Structure 1
Amino acid sequence: MQNSYSDAYKAAGVDVTAGYKAVELMKAHVARTMTSGVLGGIGGFGGLFEMDLTGMPHPVLCAGTDGVGTKLKLAFLMDKHDTVGIDCVAMCVNDIICCGAKPLLFLDYIACGKNVPEKIATIVSGVAEGCVQAGCALTGGETAEMPGFYPEEEYDLAGFSVGAVDRSKILDPGRVEAGDALVAIASSGVHSNGFSLVRKVFDVEKGGLSQHHDELGMTLGEALLTPTKIYVKPVLAVMEELTVKSVSHITGGGFYENIPRALPNGKRAKIERAAVEVLPIFDLIQKTGGIPEHDMFNTFNMGVGMILAVGREDADRAVAILNAHGERAKVIGQIENGEKGIELC
């Protein structure tokens, strides 16, 4: 790449040499994610991955894509960029496991106003950490310098993941029956949803992110930037031992939108409000913004990042497996006959 430069392009705001430096700086982070299926390294026109289909007589690919959303605004304000990559990976791989699939690979896309190599590499370090937590490989990505489209200090971050599952093991909400238990896994915080409301409630552009809150045990900014929990390994561990009928990833739309997505017609989820361990950050959001409880549960995860529907006889074992993997899990409700939806009581 030593002869690849363009003074004219640089004068227009795009420095191709900065892109090459960013790739060099991120290589060590990407190397952490390499799995046995990866063929070659980064820098080519595509990422090659050889699938291990052992135990999959009828393999099916499952893909998911997402971004970090306006949570990035807090990263800009705090000038902290090493964790938003975890959010990006989490939002994709947590969706994939709702189908019963194991994530295999991930690719990211970073669009920025100005390519600062060290900053891009820091962002990618978070992506790599997310991939390590999910057990998938970062097989490539793209950094696009777009002067005049983004402010110099800002960027957008998105990605997608591809996983695989044997067709016989694809989760089918149609198997959910009355009497099944709903096992909740605790979230790490707000995750990556509802930040347009969060930013409005706290008016973050005017400050306050550095304020320490005793109930949070940290500053407001630290609490809000806490990366999204990645549930891949513990949930797959449950699936290896038990029959998991469906999984809900509690993202934008909270309980009211996401739980019904994993239910068949004629079945509803009855959630015990007292069993939901609402995290302090949500109490602070609700109190500060004067937000009705229904709206809170219809916007945020409220402390529950994922919900598994399992047979009542498997509920205790599912909780034990999840807790053994370092999660905080508990039964928070059950399935009943009725119009598809949820009842929070």
Structure 2
Amino acid sequence: MSTSTPVSLSYADAGVDMVAGDALVDAIKPFAKRTMREGVMAGIGGFGAMFEVSKKFKEPVLVSGTDGVGTKLKLAFHLNKHDTVGIDLVAMSVNDILVQGAEPLFFLDYFACGKLDVAAATDVIKGIAYGCEQAGCALIGGETAEMPSMYPDGEYDLAGFAVGAVEKSKIIDGSKIQPGDVILGLASSGIHSNGFSLVRKIIEVANPDLNADFDGRTLGEALMAPTRIYVKPLLALMDSMEVKGMAHITGGGLVENVPRVLGDTLTAILHKDAWQMPPLFSWLQQHGGVADAEMHRVFNCGIGMVVIVAQDQADAAMDQLAQAGESVYRIGYIRNREGNEHPAQVV
């Protein structure tokens, strides 16, 4: 009777490289360290991240948001460009919690892949750290998961969440919005991180050269432009005047997101001629034969954040935001809703 020696298997034989994982942690620590802020008690490396809420809040209310980058990642894989999707990841969550008046405090990320590419993952997390710096929040922890056979080679997925705080008395919930209030639109940096399934379908149909010049950069770079982070200018605006409502313009565009901050009796009238749709959106509409209504429902069309203020403060708000580096437009107003009309109308 013959016997065979049992095969000695390791985690590496199963496709998980623990050495690469350790190398990634070492590579990202300096970038995470740059995001540290008051309140961080324990960050990268521990089992749990600890954060102490500042005593400047008398009645702090925690506000949290979570999101991913979506199929924009597919374009990142195609272009082998990984340095900006981390900014997108942070932006999608911090902009969301900002609209309720919250100051982002800390952020955690989740990076999942089939086989860890340390260089690509480092680029991604450097982008996350840079996004956190823009938002003034700490990259306090995260998770890297290497899962063989779960993802194709060269691909990964991202998720993250942000936690912020707002004084209970200063929560922005739209309840103070009334007829006559002015709707301001802050320019987007591009497509941001929504509608990329349609973008990719248009690219598939049009088959453009993504390396061709487009408005001073390549078409690929224009498509990949990271989501703008509006945190610092808008926190400053909230400190200087009453902001009645804000809406982060993500999936659903202006017509679906602005109503989320309106009461049941109000309608937002949006003037499409109040700002010029950027060339990239015109290119997408032309090459995809996309109807106007579909453009407004899927894309931000050049407006990434909406701010609602009283009519007598609109000019001051525009001046302050412009001085902070934002391109801002007076794009509409609030009026009473009539019958069963849609709560947001583009005219």
Q: TM-score range by the shorter chain?
A: over 0.9
Letter of the structure 1 residue corresponding to residue 23 of structure 2: K
Give distance in 2, aligned partners of 1:53 and 1:74. 43
Matches within 5 A, 1:4-23: 8-23=10-25
Give distance in 2, aligned partners of 1:154 and 1:204. 23
Give distance in 1, aligned partners of 2:335 and 2:100. 22
* 1:190 corresponding residue in structure 2: 191
Is the contact between residue 53 and residue 59 of structure 1 (CA under 8 Å) also seen in structure 2?
no
Matches within 5 A, 1:89-104: 89-104=90-105
> Matched residue of 1:230: which SS?
coil
Is the contact between residue 30 and residue 138 of structure 1 (CA under 8 Å) also seen in structure 2?
yes
TM-score (norm 2): 0.95
* 2:3 corresponding residue in structure 1: none
Query: Once the 2 structures are TM-superposed, how far is the Cα of residue 344 of structure 1 from its aligned partner?
Result: 1.1
* 2:5 corresponding residue in structure 1: none
> Matched residue of 1:150: which SS?
coil
Number of positions where the alignment pairs a residue of Structure 1 with one of Structure 2: 337
* 1:71 corresponding residue in structure 2: 72
* 1:156 corresponding residue in structure 2: 157
Matches within 5 A, 1:1-345: 8-54=10-56, 56-203=57-204, 208-213=209-214, 216-338=215-337, 339=341, 341-345=343-347
Is the contact between residue 206 and residue 287 of structure 2 (CA under 8 Å) also seen in structure 1?
no
1:105-153 alpha-carbon deviations (Å, 9 max, x no partner) = 0000000111122221111000000000000000000000011010120
1:170-213 alpha-carbon deviations (Å, 9 max, x no partner) = 00212110000001100000000000000000118966221223
> Matched residue of 1:69: which SS?
coil
Give distance in 2, aligned partners of 1:157 and 1:283. 29
Give distance in 2, aligned partners of 1:246 and 1:340. 18
Is the contact between residue 86 and residue 128 of structure 2 (CA under 8 Å) also seen in structure 1?
yes
1:240-264 alpha-carbon deviations (Å, 9 max, x no partner) = 0111111010000101110100111
Letter of the structure 2 residue corresponding to residue 226 of structure 1: A
Give distance in 2, aligned partners of 1:129 and 1:217. 24
Give distance in 1, aligned partners of 2:62 and 2:47. 22
Query: Once the 2 structures are TM-superposed, how far is the Cα of residue 236 of structure 1 from its aligned partner?
Result: 0.7
Is the contact between residue 177 and residue 336 of structure 1 (CA under 8 Å) also seen in structure 2?
yes
> Matched residue of 1:100: which SS?
coil
Letter of the structure 2 residue corresponding to residue 119 of structure 1: A
Give distance in 1, aligned partners of 2:226 and 2:87. 6
* 2:4 corresponding residue in structure 1: none
Is the contact between residue 255 and residue 346 of structure 2 (CA under 8 Å) also seen in structure 1?
no
Query: Once the 2 structures are TM-superposed, how far is the Cα of residue 278 of structure 1 from its aligned partner?
Result: 0.9
Is the contact between residue 264 and residue 340 of structure 1 (CA under 8 Å) also seen in structure 2?
no
> Matched residue of 2:269: which SS?
strand
Give distance in 2, aligned partners of 1:104 and 1:227. 21
Query: Once the 2 structures are TM-superposed, how far is the Cα of residue 7 of structure 1 from its aligned partner?
Result: 5.9
Letter of the structure 1 residue corresponding to residue 277 of structure 2: V
Q: Report % sequence identity.
A: 52
Query: Once the 2 structures are TM-superposed, how far is the Cα of residue 217 of structure 1 from its aligned partner?
Result: 2.0
> Matched residue of 2:321: which SS?
helix
Unaligned runs of 5+ in 1: 1-5
Distance 1:204 1:103, change over 3 A: farther
Distance 1:120 1:167, change over 3 A: same
Q: Give the greater-gyration-radius structure (CA).
A: 2
Distance 1:40 1:174, change over 3 A: closer
Structure 1, 226-235 or 276-285: larger mean CA deviation: 276-285
* 1:3 corresponding residue in structure 2: none
Distance 1:206 1:112, change over 3 A: farther
Q: What do you get for the CA RMSD once the two structures are aligned? A: 1.4
TM-score (norm 1): 0.95
Give distance in 1, aligned partners of 2:78 and 2:284. 19
